[in-house]
Amino acid sequence: MSHDESPPHPNAAPWRDGHEPTPFQQAVIDAVSALAPGELVTFGELADELGRPGGGQAVANVLRAVPDLPWWRVVPAEGRLYRDLVAVQAPLLEAEGFRVDEHRRVHVRDR
């Protein structure tokens, strides 16, 4: 699936027309856009990497607001998918080589 065909986030909340992303929001967009199939990052890791420790929720807000991002490659710290996202996120991750167990935890498949 190409970046242009990314399924929308199930809890999408797009920004209003004319919204200009803040530098942090743009950094999230750039970082998530650069994630290749099979790469995962946590909300917290990404926030830390972008100089905003504790900003995991801000990362999540950007993912809901911007269409066409591979949002499914960003997961909670403990690797357990959110209940309201798992029906869409799990098949996308499984298609990229991950396994999602019955507890919604993401694992790298044995190769």
Residue predicted with more confidence, 103 or 6: 103
Residues 71-84 have a mean pLDDT of 95
CB atoms within 10 A of CB 78: 8
What are the beta bridge partners of residue 98? 108
The string over 32-65, giving b where at least 16 C-beta atoms fall within 10 Å of a residue's C-beta and e elsewhere, is: beebeeeebbbbbebbeebebeebbebbbebbbb
The model's pTM is 0.90
Say how far apart CA 28 and CA 51 lie, in whole Å: 11
Per-residue model confidence (pLDDT) at position 109 = 75
Query: Mean pLDDT across the stretch 3-18?
Result: 85
Residue 3: its pLDDT value, please?
43
Domain residue ranges of the chain, discontinuous segments joined by +: 3-108
Q: How far is CA 16 from the centre of its chain?
A: 21
pLDDT at residue 5 in the model: 65
For domain 3-108, which CATH number applies: 1.10.3720.10, 1.10.10.10, 1.10.760.10, 3.40.50.300? 1.10.10.10
